[in-house]
Structure 1
């Protein structure tokens, strides 16, 4: 990502305007790239042997904690291994991913 792109994401976070991020053309392109890579299939459901259409792309490294990775399909972990940062999920799996440690109502900001 360029410095300008990172600054844009940080501004979205600071202004509590994640809608601006999720409707931003570079994010829409990155999202589509992830969905195509995963053949529009939910990757969590797929590991359980069932097919579910992916409707959401999950940031493994959450945007608010890692704005520099907001558009990155891959990231390098602490051991130097490359891992997926953007993962295609169905709505239910995405909600579970965000709420698995919390007992809260759905908070997914990406609603479109």
Structure 2
């Protein structure tokens, strides 16, 4: 069983998560791209925390998602980024690199 990173219990993350959900009007950004309104319950690291800790609190690297869309961002068995997840990475890559 995979252990949860202690970062997700930190006050900084809890506050950032709430700010991102509020920024996105508590709506799933992936569903919204297709004209659907779905309540977001998760905040997703587009570039994963495990591989890109420098982006862990960068708002450009965080999007609000419903649980269904969150599951589609990466393969839970291999932990590889899915094609949908890679498309999001392509969208935000420039913004992240410009802010380092």
Q: Common fold, TM-score beyond 0.5? A: yes
TM-score, structure 1 normalization: 0.63
> Which runs of 4 or more aligned residues in structure 1 lie more than 4 Å from their structure 2 counterparts after TM superposition?
none
Pairs within 5 Å for 1:1-112: 17-18=4-5, 20-74=6-60, 85-99=61-75, 104=77
Corresponding residue pairs, total: 77
What TM-score does the superposition give when structure 2 sets the normalisation length?
0.70
Higher helix proportion (structure 1 or 2): 2
Q: Where does structure 1 lack aligned partners over 5 or more consecutive residues?
A: 1-15, 75-84, 107-112
Higher relative contact order (CA 8 A, sep 6+): 1
1:66-101: per-residue Cα shift (whole Å, max 9, x none)? 111111102xxxxxxxxxx100000000000112xx
Unaligned runs of 5+ in 2: 80-100
Q: What is the RMSD computed on CA atoms of the aligned residues?
A: 2.0
Report which of the two has the higher share of strand: 1
